[in-house]
Amino acid sequence: MADPRQIVARGYNRIAERYAAWAGESWAGGRARFGALLLERLPPGAAILDLGCGTGVPVARELANCFAVTGVDISARSIALARRNVPGATFLHADMAALDVPAGIFDAVVAFYSIIHLPREEHPALLRAIAGWLRPGGLFVAALGANESDDWLEPDWLGAPMYWSHFDGATTLRLIEAAGLRPLLAEALAEDEDGTPATFLWVAAEKPLGVGPHG
């Protein structure tokens, strides 16, 4: 198999607009339900990191209404569109797994359907990095894999090859806890994808108070 990162980057470069139209602009379902925790628990202007921000719609756009949002995506085309769609946020073209930011600078990290594009053997290190980027009391909110799937390559997904990799939900929750985060809410939610049900594990976790920036 080709480098999964190149598959994902090239794929979203090719289908960025199509994916945005397919995913829709509605702040609903798991996004609205778990995103509400951010609105409830964080003060206005809080710093949020959006991993795998795509074109910025709807997640970064919704969050930028209340918070200081930094979006990261491996697709250059998606980042270009995000800067146009959400001019009030900051966007970086980067690999989330290689992101170099100071420890303890974010009040929340969100990752909706994005970590599942990274080879699952890299998930533990990324989760530890996320815990390090969070301030004590900070939140991690994500849509992750609910079922085990390793190195899944779809030759034609919305018009381009695409790659996914994830553990089952129970394993992912253990990895989140091992990274130093305390799950607050976890629920497997089924969603309709063009008439086919797809289930994702939605998680909200907290970095405990009293934990330093490096865990």
In the numeric block, the tokens 């690999």 are attached to 95
**CATH number assigned to the domain comprising residue 202:** 3.40.50.150
- The reply to whether 17 falls in a domain is yes
Look at residue 21 and tell me if it is in a domain: yes
Contact 56, 89 (CB under 8 A): yes
Q: Which residue has the tokens 């390090």?
A: 132
Residue type, 107: D
In a domain, 211, yes or no: no
Q: Looking at the domain assignment, is residue 212 inside a domain?
A: no
Calculated CA dihedral for residues 25, 26, 32, 35, nearest 10 degrees: 20
Backbone angles phi and psi of 185, in degrees to 5: -155, 135
**Residue 86 domain-assigned (yes or no):** yes
pLDDT of residue 214: 59
| Structural domain count of the chain | 1
For residue 91, tell me if it sits in a domain: yes
Token reading at 156: 């034609």
| Alpha carbons 116 and 204: distance in angstroms, whole number | 16
Given a cut of 50, the residues of the chain with pLDDT beneath it are none
Look at residue 212 in the predicted model and tell me its pLDDT.
Answer: 61
123 found inside a domain: yes
For residue range 122-158, what is the model confidence (pLDDT) as tens digits? 999 999 999 999 999 999 999 999 999 999 999 999 9
Residue range(s) defining the domain that contains residue 199: 4-206
Task: Please state the pTM of the whole predicted model.
Answer: 0.95
State the pLDDT at residue 2: 85
> CA–CA separation, 121 vs 165, rounded Å?
9
Rounded CA-CA distance 199/149 in Å is 12
Query: What is the identity of the amino acid at 138?
Result: G
Helix or strand (DSSP H, E) at 89: none
Give the separation between CA 118 and CA 98, rounded to whole angstroms: 11
Is position 60 within any domain?
yes
The 3-state DSSP class for residue 71 equals strand
